[in-house]
Amino acid sequence: MEPSDLHLQDRDPPDLSEIIELALIKNPACSVSRIRDAYHYVAHAFAGRRREDGTPYLKHLTEVAKKLTELGVDDNSIIAGLLHDTLEDIKGLTKEDLAKEFGADVAEIVEGVTKITTMGPEDEAGEHILMVDTIRNIKALHKLLLAVAGDIRVLLVKLADRLHNMRTISGKKDKNRQRVIANETLLVFAPLAARLGIWQIKSELEDLSFEVLHPEESKRIESLINQTEAERKKELSAIILETKEALESAGVKYFQVTGRPKHKFSIFNKMASQHLKFEEIYDLIAIRIIVDTNAACYHAFGIVHGLYAPIQGFFFDYIAKPKPNGYQSIHTKVTGPHNRTLEVQIRTQEMHQNAEFGNAAHWTYKEGSEGSKEAKSMRSLGNQLAAASAENTEIGDFMRAVLTDLFTDQVFVFTPRHDIIELPAGSTVIDFAFKVHTELALKLSGVKVDGKLVPFNTVLQNAQRVELITRSDAEPTHEWVKYAKSSHALSRIRTYLRKKEREVWAKIGRASIVRELESFHLDPQVNLSPSKLDPIIKSYDGVKTADDLYARVAEGLISIQSVVQRIRALYSVSKEPTPIPVSVGFDGTMEIGGKENKSIEFKRAKCCLPIPGDEVVGYITRGNGIRVHRRICPSAQALLAAEPERFFATTWQPSDAVYGVSLRIRCINRSGLLADITTAIAAKKTNISNVKLRAGGDAVVDITLTVDVKDATHANDIIAKLSGFASVISAYRVFSSISTVA
């Protein structure tokens, strides 16, 4: 401090000396010089600045500090009250600057107030609105405020700030803004004051908001009060005088016997909610007696009941049994002069102080749950603040540590509609999405936090505004499993992925069956129609839907051949070419192959590559010997239509000869797969003459290979062996070598 500051002490401006006087009454050990420093700091920084109503900005700051001294808070809170607008309003000023000048504790409180003041979305005028009518969960908002504040004293400063802003609200020219602020005050800050037990601030905030929000009702009630005021005052002063005399003659020491003010908003509320007339509420005369000890309370109570007849059932002893928020008083109703009902409250000075200004020692965060962890922490917080204020010690770290403990488990964020969502700390935007709306979350394509696009693994912070962007074709990916922290989100994502995977399997399975059907010239559309497929589905144990069946085929749980066989068994006629009606050739039925017929030359038709064991027909070419086709071969059918006389029926006996056939194997790609397949085929005593690999999507690979077989049984044997592999989705004989080219 500069030496010249010391001389200012005698010439302190009135507002400053008022603050210092009040602070000294509450706490004789308070640090006057630090308060004075803070005053001069803002007096300089805000010199010449005026509020919208033309009053000096400094006045606002000193009024806030005055209110805080009334509440009996510690020095740092009073100093923070003077400085509460500096971080927001002084260009270039940082928290560190404040800490250097006034200590880290003060800087923390001012920063907390600034955070709360700038919380919530901005309106068109660029001002922040914490609250709109759509908010549903005030308790969650209070938790959010506590979490963001990080220190109870931040909220006390904020309440004092709001109180002065409401007292001067008429200075705002924009009526609509007046209403917005009043609404926010009524919905958020008055209940917050009540939560902290500061009834005086609560009532005043309510009345001030009421005047702005319901000017007509407010004026009506005020004029009703005024009309009856003169008579009431006369009556009241007679009662007060009578009561005082009775107390004095009984030797009860009292400090005050006063009429009790009634708040406009509470009268309005009672009229509206209990359908009472103004007279029914206001005609009650209420007095309050303030004495010095608990014993004196009961003594005074006895005297009042001796003076006026008590009304049965209206005696409450909140001294012996305080209300959960710590409120203490004796309440009784008696019949006063002229048969008027008289309400009487009796309490000590300390109880009165606590009721009006809040007793830090009685802060309970959760109403009616005194034993809760939160309530206990809040109470010990209050005790510490009260003690710190009396002993003038610093308690910043402790104040913050407790609130930090209380709220480290949770994080509170806004939806675009200003609802508050409570999530476990560490939650990501993905968790938020699933908490808010599972169906939307499954279509999530992007997330904005405070208006900016963020990655899905972004961890949420208190008071952020989170907006979900969806797209109809968006869907969860495996990455999401890493981003989600909550079990709810995780289970929804996993369920979705499993279902999705099943759909992929089903697609693969269906494609395999379609191909197999086509190789038999069966129309897949017809044969896989629901009505046709239904009996097939039912023929398998535990298979419920078509996708079920397809997926199992793809997974190798059901062989593709078995499905197609069952289809063929049921609907063998559907699109299979009609068997070739073999006309008898020039020498009747002929048999090819076998020992006796070796001399007859024939060739296997390339279009269908028949082997012994297939149903075959012979076709006599022009100059190229006999060509053998499978009976179901389309080329054979076309030839038959043109020249039936060249066909003859034939059977084909196995011999020592081997014939190449093409097999196609669809499988899940894995290392060593091809080696396993070739080994298995070799074990069936056959050669592989040609192998083609073609990668499909989804880690699937198609293998086409040509193997030498003796007959159809041999080929089926190999197919059965291959179908047995876990990674084989389907294995079948390709109908023709020509089609494999495609």
Positions marked catalytic: 88-89
Per CB under 5 A, the list member of 63, 74, 75, 85 interacting with Mn ion is 85
Angle at 327 between CA 322 and CA 328, to 5 degrees: 60
Q: What is the DSSP letter of 411?
A: E
Within 392-463, residue ranges assigned H as helices are 396-407, 429-436, 438-441
Range 354-393, binding Mn ion (CB under 5 A): none
Q: In angstroms, what is the minimal distance from the CB of 84 to Mn ion?
A: 6
Residue whose CB is less far from Mn ion, 164 or 435: 164
Tell me how far, at minimum, the Cβ of 113 lies from Mn ion, in Å.
8
Contact region for Mn ion (CB under 5 A) — 51-59, 161-169, 223-231, 261-269? 161-169
Q: Which of 75, 161, 211, 547 binds Mn ion (CB under 5 A)?
A: 161
130, 465 in Cβ contact below 8 A? Answer: no
| Binding segment toward Mn ion, per CB under 5 A, in 157-165, 357-365, 474-482, 500-508 | 157-165
Q: How far is the CB of 161 from Mn ion (least distance, A)?
A: 4
Nearer to Mn ion, 161 or 431 (CB): 161
Segment contacting Mn ion by CB under 5 A, of 1-9, 154-162, 172-180, 601-609: 154-162
- Pick the closer one to Mn ion by CB: 9 or 55: 55
* Minimum CB distance to Mn ion smaller for 74 or for 85: 85
Nearest distance in Å: CB 450, Mn ion: 23
If you search the block for the tokens 């053998």, which residue do you land on?
A: 628
E-strand ranges in 115-209 read none
Nearer to Mn ion, 85 or 151 (CB): 85
Smallest gap from residue 63 Cβ to Mn ion (A): 9
Which of residues 144 and 163 has its CB atom nearest to Mn ion in the complex? 163
Instruction: List the x/- string, 10-39, binding to Mn ion by CB under 5 A.
Output: ------------------------------
Q: What angle do CA 630, 634, 639 make, to 5 degrees?
A: 90
Binding window for Mn ion (CB under 5 A); candidates: 156-164, 493-501, 539-547, 612-620: 156-164
3-class secondary-structure state, position 715? helix
Pairing of strands 341-348, 616-620: unpaired
| Closest CB to Mn ion among residues 105, 161 | 161
Nearest position to Mn ion, beta carbon = 161
Neighbours of 196 (CB within 10 A): 26
| Beta carbon nearer to Mn ion, 67 or 604 | 67
Pick out residues in 495-514 that bind Mn ion (CB under 5 A). Answer: none
Between 26 and 164, CB nearer to Mn ion:
164
Among the candidate windows 81-89, 141-149, 272-280, 366-374, which touches Mn ion by CB under 5 A?
A: 81-89
Contact window for Mn ion (CB under 5 A) among 18-26, 43-51, 153-161, 434-442? 153-161
CB closer to Mn ion, 148 vs 493: 148
Could you tell me the smallest distance in angstroms from the CB atom of residue 96 to Mn ion? 22
Piece of 83-91, 401-409, 627-635, 675-683 that binds Mn ion (CB under 5 A): 83-91
Size of the site for Mn ion (CB under 5 A): 2
Task: State in angstroms the smallest separation of the CB of 457 from Mn ion.
Answer: 38
| 189: phi then psi, degrees, rounded to nearest 5 | -80, -35
Closest CA to 211 of 167, 276, 253: 167
CA gyration radius for the chain? 45
CA dist., res. 402 & res. 382, Å (int): 11
- Amino acid, single-letter form, for residue 701: V
DSSP letters, 261-283, are: P--HHHHHHHHHHH---HHHHHT
Quote the CA–CA distance of 68 and 464 in Å, as a whole number.
29
Question: Can you tell me the distance from the alpha carbon of 149 to that of 110, in angstroms, rounded to the nearest whole number?
Answer: 10
CA angle at 153 for the pair 151 and 158, rounded to the nearest 5°: 110
Tabulate helix, strand, coil % of the chain (nearest 5). 50, 15, 30
As measured in angstroms, the least distance from the Cβ of 99 to Mn ion is 20
| CA within 13 Å, CB half, 211 | 13
In one-letter notation, the amino acid at residue 136 is R
Q: Which residue has the tokens 């997330």?
A: 447
Q: How far, in Å, CA of 483 to CA of 604, rounded?
A: 61
| In the complex, minimum distance from the CB of residue 463 to Mn ion, in angstroms, rounded to a whole number | 19
Looking at 85-93, 455-463, 510-518, 549-557, which segment touches Mn ion (CB under 5 A)? 85-93
Closest CA to 592 of 646, 655, 517, 636: 655
Nearer residue to Mn ion within complex by CB, 205 or 580: 205
Shortest CB 94 distance to Mn ion, Å: 19
**How far, rounded to the nearest angstrom, does the alpha carbon of residue 143 sit from its chain's CA centroid?**
16
3-state DSSP assignment of residue 315: coil
Per CB under 5 A, 63 contacts Mn ion: no
**How many whole angstroms separate alpha carbon 444 and alpha carbon 359?**
48
Q: Say how far apart CA 321 and CA 129 lie, in whole Å.
A: 40
Do the beta carbons of residue 587 and residue 581 sit within 8 Å?
Answer: no
As measured in angstroms, the least distance from the Cβ of 162 to Mn ion is 8
Residue listed under structure tokens 């000890």? 293
DSSP string of 651-678, one letter each residue: EEE--S--EEEEEEEEEE--TTHHHHHH
Structure tokens at 358: 């809040």
Binding site for Mn ion (CB under 5 A): 85, 161
